[in-house]
Structure 1
Amino acid sequence: METSIRNQVAGTVLEIVEDKVMSEVIIQTAAGKMTSVITTRSVRDMGLKVGDDVSAIIKATNVSIGKSA
């Protein structure tokens, strides 16, 4: 997979909510908070923990948009 700076967002892990199969990783970015849903196995394989610096890679087919109030 090719990536570019346009589809990456740097941030810091604020919280990880693990379930048996899927986990939510809440990331603080310069623009605000974002949540990524990845497998719990991926969280463990990467050794993710609160405070880690990460890069979120955004794929256009996986982005949901909601209108702000």
Structure 2
Amino acid sequence: MPDIKNEDLLSLHYQIEKAEVEQQKLEDLLNDRSLELKKNRASKIMFKILCSVLLITTITLIIYVVFWVGNS
């Protein structure tokens, strides 16, 4: 079994810590992006609902004006 020097162990330990910090940064970035996408998805759904309600209201008003007010 080869001899491992303290310097080599310290260097390896430093590299592992550096990799762990980088991994944590990437995980945080991924979580931030995931949260942002969830918010965007919720906004899109609310926008679709609002547009649908406005469209239905507009169609209802047009039908009312054409059929009921127009016949008066």
TM-score range, shorter chain: under 0.3
> What's the TM-score once normalised by structure 2's chain length?
0.16
Tell me the TM-score normalised to structure 1 length: 0.16
- Which one scores higher on RCO, CA 8 angstroms, separation ≥ 6? 1
Q: Which has the larger radius of gyration?
A: 2
Higher helix share: 2
The structure whose residues are more often strand, as a share, is 1
